[in-house]
Structure 1
Amino acid sequence: MANEPPLILVVDDDPDFADFLRSLLDRNGFRASSAGTARAALRALGEGRVDLVITDVVMPDMDGIEFLRSLPPAARGLPVIAITGSPLNAHGTLSRVMHALGATQVLPKPLPNAELLAAIRNALATAPRRVGLNQTT
């Protein structure tokens, strides 16, 4: 549906943080779904239309780097905002790797809601809307 708000997939192994993000997105005019693992997110990407992904970088089943490498061809180019509280990003090394693999932006965790919402709006404004990753029309 052309008039539907963008659908954002939240990928985070912390259910409380995922619930918080879904609520924040819903309150700000987006539709949100979540996946508790990167593998579940990869399955969700194959099941329907997603306009943007917000993913944690450090997860137990698959880290953000492996997740980006595992995106199906139809999902390549999809805007991805990576969030991390990892001390490994202190010198920006993790950010550079994530950007090289296709992340639109890498943000520190925790971050102000306004900063996250601005990053989402910017990423969506510069990316084409998707009709569905599993559809051919």
Structure 2
Amino acid sequence: MKTVLVVDDDPSIRALIRLYLEGAGYVVMEAADGKLAMQSLSGQPADLVVLDIFMPEMDGLEVLQVLRETCRTCKVMAISGGSAKVGMDLLGHATIFGADDVLQKPFSSETLLEKVEALIGLAA
């Protein structure tokens, strides 16, 4: 079974992504911020990290930098809905920092699952 760590400070976004991914057969772990994500990954590796950009404690770009230094093989998909609010292409920055793919919020279950499958394959 493929494991996905969902990192987002919004519990409703984490719950929605969990619903989509578990429905497709993936094992899902959750973290509410970047520090908790790093703690979670030190205890259990993940095939994919779905990583929000805007978070307290340690934002997504900081997490991405650490992941690229410590876990070069794990896949990362950055997600954000705030880029337009701040007038910056933060998802583009995430790609520069090493994200394997990006996804703009809001997104459909189909789009999420297509991107996850493209990155790590089917759940089984």
Q: Which of 105, 110, 113 is matched with 2:109 structurally?
A: 113
User: Highest CA radius of gyration, 1 or 2?
Assistant: 1
State whether structure 2 residue 31 is matched by structure 1 residue 35: yes
Q: CA deviation at 1:62?
A: 1.7
Look up the SS of the partner of 1:71 in the other structure. helix
SS in 2 for 1:45: helix
Measured on the aligned residues, the alpha-carbon RMSD in Å equals 1.8
Report the counterpart of residue 72 of structure 2 in structure 1.
76
Normalising by structure 1, we get a TM-score of: 0.80
Of 93, 111, 116, the residue aligned with 1:97 is: 93
Name stretches of at least 5 consecutive residues in structure 1 with no aligned partner: 126-137
SS at match of 2:18: helix
Which structure has the highest helix share of the two? 2
- Aligned-pair CA distance for 1:110: 0.6
Tell me how far apart the structure 1 counterparts of residues 55 and 44 of structure 2 sit (CA, whole Å): 23
Deviation for aligned residue 1:49: 2.6
**Which of 45, 52, 58 is 1:56 aligned to?**
52
Sequence identity of aligned pairs in percent? 32
TM-score normalised by the chain length of structure 2: 0.87
Q: Residue type matched to 1:27 in 2? A: G
Which deviates further from its counterpart, 38-47 or 14-23?
14-23
- 1:95 is displaced (CA, Å) by 2.4
Which 4+ residue blocks in structure 1 deviate beyond 4 angstroms?
88-91
Seen in structure 2, the aligned counterparts of structure 1 residues 82 and 72 have a Cα distance that, compared at 3 Å, is: closer
**How many residues are paired up?**
120
